[in-house]
A and B are shown apart, each in its own frame.
Chain A
Amino acid sequence: MSNAPVVLAAAIVSLVSLLPVGFVIWIGIQTGWETASALIFRPRVGELLINTAMLVAVTIPISIILAVTLAWLTERTDLRGARIWSWFAVAPLAVPAFVQSYAWVSLIPGLHGLFGGVLVSVLAYFPFLYLPVSAQLRRLDPAIEDAAASLGNDPWRVFFFAVLPQLRLAICGGSLLIGLHLLAEYGLYVMIRFDTFTTAIVDQFQSAFNGPAANMLGGVLVVCCFGLLGLEALLRGNERYARVGSGAARDPIKQRLGLLAIPAFLICLITAGLSLGVPFVTLTRWLSLGGIGSWRLDLIGTALGQTIIFAVAGALLTTTITVPMAWLSVRAPGRFQRIMEACHYYVGSLPGVVVALALVTVTVRVALPLYQTVFTLLLAYALLFLPRSLVGLRTNIAQVPVELEQAAMALGRSPAQAVRQITMRLAAPGVAVSMALVGLGITNELTATLMLAPNGTRTLAMQFWSLTSEIDYVGAAPYALMMVLLSLPMTLLLYAQSKRMGGR
């Protein structure tokens, strides 16, 4: 009985995933303390730090309030059309953040700075909180609320003292995800003219390629990401959330809104209007202004084809290399496995620009044959989206009884065959969701693609970006539309899965 090859495979992936952080440390040492400190401790970095911190500190609370309100309204009240509103609360995921920002800048050309950044960030990212919070709300046992009410608490107190604490994990998880996106996003903030670490790193990259200034900013950004991870771990706490008692929880009672139905309806309508209506209106306007002339089919076709190829190849590669880890963490847990799994997760929290900087430098200096190849780009995608893939695979492998594998082997299958023919087939839905999530990420990825892509590559995101940089908003519109259309089915899959997780 030996897992050695699987452990080896998982260990290799873990080692590769350490590459970006190893790079940051290595380049820091190479730069030397004097140069490094001169580049890190300067007023500009202070400005960026304040900007980034303000962005996170303002966006996340607003997103929490908005997402919890919407989740409560759609899951626990008699709000009319709750199903549609809940779909509208997830659908903004299909609008890439930089398209959302493009829509807003088209509508209000002067929109900029912290206010603009927060507004567009909330609209682009609040579904990351809405999804887990609404799923959690669906699963809660109403008995706890009954107990709280029977002790004389009014509905508001019941919500704040009995329901909200139970949403803690979902809120922490969703907030972390949003926070990491805020640190990593490039296109959104360039268009809204708000400087963060990521935009400053790209500025430096464009002025001096992978110079020490860019690398040092990258180092600070990595520290920020780790800071967020640590903060989340701290706030998550370790209370018990599982229900005690036998039997299944009954369906929660839907609160009657009464007169509040009107403001509730307005909240849903305004959110959908801002997050979906604005992109819809501006896109339609640019598309109709451009008419048939802006549909350069040859160019759009090439970009669409390349984007799909990258998305599919990247999703395949990512899923393939996460299988060993997912299988190990279910079938052979242990301390070593936990360390390897942590490696898989942390790398996904790094911004694309940092991973790309590391891969550019390593390939150009050490692994030249891999420089500017599709392989390196796919590797960057795989590293960025490892956690997305691992989460889905792990849950689904865990649901396949080990006895089936054993039975298959008793009937003469080799272990590899047994896993491939039994486990992976039964885990197929999970694989599909993982691949959809990774594909969604790749379709809308910009910074790593710009920095790593092979010569002559034109993805939808690249074309969109190059056109908007020349303020050709009309020409960019078809590319934005294609990205939204590609993202829609993947968002639907995600929505369906969250419903299933919630037991419906």
Chain B
Amino acid sequence: MKFSLSSLAGVVAFAAGLAGSTMLATAQSESEGIVVYNAQHESLTEAWAAGFTKETGIKVTLRNGSDMEFANQLVQEGAASPADVYLTENSPGMALVDSANLFEPLNADILAQVPENYRPTNGHWVGVAARSTVFVYDKNKLTEDKLPKSLLDLAESSWKGRWAASPSGADFQAIVGALLQLKGEEATAAWLKAMKENFTPYKGNSTAMKAVNAGEVEGAVIYHYYYFGDQAKTGENSKNIASHYFKNEDPGAFVSVSGGGVLASSKQKEQAQAFVKWVTGKGGQEILRDGTSFEYAVGEGATSNPKLVPLADLQAPKVEPSKLDSKKVTDLMTAAGLL
């Protein structure tokens, strides 16, 4: 039996057609708006994007993922990246992308909107929001005098089997990054080793909080806003929860800066800059204050949700966000068997 080459060509043409139409579709979406690699909570960035589109008419397409996934992805994509803007929950991802020289310097009017302590000195990216480390605990099991005084206390054997965290999340990895910067590699490795012995892993901070609430563990190291977010909804997963802020410039009082930056490879830099400007400006920061994200606003003169402990009262340690070493953190956590 003989098949004409035309039938084979048909299959090839079919495949090529699919690929072609796809590329066309991608090209179209590029001309229609900007692509944001979004590692922030989807609901928050969706609110930002909606507000921005309403005001400017520029369409925003989100790709959702996590901080370090996108950071490493952007490094691999290099000049060919389809992304115009990169938004994170923490700073290490921003630092990684910046160290690969992939950011376009931000316009001066954007930088002017954010105080200096929430952005790196080189002006390649800015803080768009902030979040504080917190120890959420089960009110029925722990009283204030029994709480850990420092994040480092959780490595003690008395805490074995009593606390939880989400080690695969960028949030916790940022906290470890702060610990690394403050206490050095040796102390961090030792703490992580003890952590592996002591803690119970959960996937995601919400899940960890839910477990504390359900009495599965006594406490968890997460960020502050999960409690408020749940209280604003049904409160079902936080009714037994109280939050403990370490303060005292402890590593556990680390305040993590969420970043935003424009990619140098972007073909629509103007729109991308406009988006970052909007997010750090009045509109974007008001969404942080009035919405259900409960993250801290960082804009010049912007106020956070009144329910939160004021940012100034948190006594956070001095951490340089642009020097958080994510690579070292994942290596140390992989070595400790946490990843």
> Are A209 and B76 within 8 A (Cβ)?
yes
**Contact partner, A416, options B6, B80, B237, Cβ 8 Å:** B6
Given the contacts A44-B337, A190-B203, A208-B72, A373 and B3 also touching, CB distance less than 8 Å? no
User: Does A321 touch B at the CB level, under 8 Å?
Assistant: yes
- Say yes or no: is A200 at the interface (Cβ < 8 Å to chain B): yes
Among B1-45, those with CB < 8 Å from A are 1-8, 11, 14-15, 18-19, 21-23, 25-26, 29, 35, 41-43
Enumerate the 7 nearest inter-chain pairs by beta-carbon distance, A residue then B residue, closest first. Answer: A209-B72, A203-B168, A416-B7, A375-B19, A374-B22, A44-B337, A5-B3
- Counting CB contacts under 8 A, is B192 at the interface? no
Q: Given contacts A5-B4, A213-B339, A456-B62, are A471 and B210 in contact (CB under 8 A)?
A: yes
Residues of A within 8 A of B333 (CB): 207
- Provide the bound-state CA to CA distance between A109 and B210, in Å: 9
Other A-B contacts than A419-B3, A466-B64, 7 sampled, CB-CB below 8 A, are A42-B335, A43-B337, A207-B68, A208-B330, A331-B1, A375-B19, A455-B29
> Which residues of chain A have C-beta atoms less than 8 A from B2's C-beta?
1-3, 415
Known A-B contacts A2-B2, A375-B15; the reply to A204 vs B339 at CB < 8 A is: yes
| The one of A331, A369, A470 that contacts B23, using a Cβ cutoff of 8 Å | A369
CA distance A455 to B70 in the complex (A): 13
Question: Can you offer 21 A-B residue contacts whose CB atoms are under 8 A?
Answer: A2-B2, A5-B3, A5-B8, A42-B335, A44-B338, A109-B214, A190-B203, A193-B201, A208-B69, A209-B69, A213-B330, A313-B18, A368-B80, A374-B18, A375-B15, A416-B6, A455-B63, A469-B203, A470-B43, A470-B204, A471-B204
Interface residues on B, range: 35 or more
Taking the nearest CB of chain A, how far is it from the CB of B172, in angstroms? 10
Decide if B15 touches A466 in the complex (CB within 8 Å): no
Please tell me if the beta carbons of B61 and A456 are within 8 angstroms of each other in the complex. yes
Interface of B is mostly: helix
B327 partner residues in chain A, CB cutoff 8 A:
208
Interface secondary structure of A, over-half rule:
helix
Contacts of B43 in A (CB 8 A): 470
- The number of chain A residues with a CB under 8 A from chain B is 58
Q: Are B237 and A471 in contact (CB under 8 A)?
A: yes
A39 surroundings in chain B (CB, below 8 A) = 334
Q: Does A280 contact B (CB under 8 A)?
A: no
- CA of A419 to CA of B62 in the docked complex: distance in angstroms? 45
Binary contact readout B173-210 vs A (1 if CB under 8 angstroms, 0 otherwise): 10000000000000000000000000001111011001
**Residue B82, interface by CB 8 Å:** yes
Q: B68 and A208: CB pair below 8 A?
A: yes
Q: Give the distance to chain B from A246, nearest Cβ to Cβ, in Å.
A: 36
Contact of A8 with B173 at beta-carbon distance under 8 Å, contacts A110-B214, A200-B339 already known: no
A142 and B214 alpha carbons, distance in the complex (Å): 55
Flag if B173 contacts A207 (CB, 8 Å). yes
Q: Residues of A contacting B204 with CB < 8 Å?
A: 469-471
List residues 321-344 of chain A with CB under 8 A from any CB of chain B. Answer: 321, 331
User: CB < 8 Å: which of A109, A207, A331 contacts B339?
Assistant: A207
Q: Which residues of chain B have C-beta atoms less than 8 A from A109's C-beta?
A: 210, 214
Q: Does A317 contact B (CB under 8 A)?
A: yes
Q: Given A2-B2, A207-B339, A320-B11, do A456 and B63 touch, yes or no (CB 8 Å)?
A: yes
Query: Chain A 452-490 against B: per-residue CB contact (8 Å), 1 yes, 0 no?
Result: 001110000000001001110000000000000000000
Asked, given contacts A210-B76, A364-B76, whether A205 binds B69 with beta carbons under 8 Å apart, the answer is yes
B22 close to A375 (CB less than 8 A): yes
Which of the listed residues B71, B168, B169, B333 has the most CB atoms from chain A within 10 Å of its own CB?
B168
Given contacts A211-B72, A456-B61, contact A317 B18 (CB under 8 A): yes
Q: How far is the CB of B15 from chain A (nearest CB, A)?
A: 7
Whether, in the assembled complex, A85 has its beta carbon less than 8 Å from a beta carbon of chain B, the answer is: no
- Chain B residues contacting A302 (CB-CB under 8 Å) are none
Contacts of B64 in A (CB 8 A): 466
Q: Which residue of B lies closest to A45 (CB)?
A: B337
Cβ–Cβ contact A207 & B202, under 8 A: no
Contact indicator per residue, chain B 299-339, by CB within 8 Å of chain A (1) or not (0) = 00000000000000000000000000001001001110111
- Known pairs A109-B214, A193-B203, A471-B210; A3 contacts B1 (CB<8 A): yes
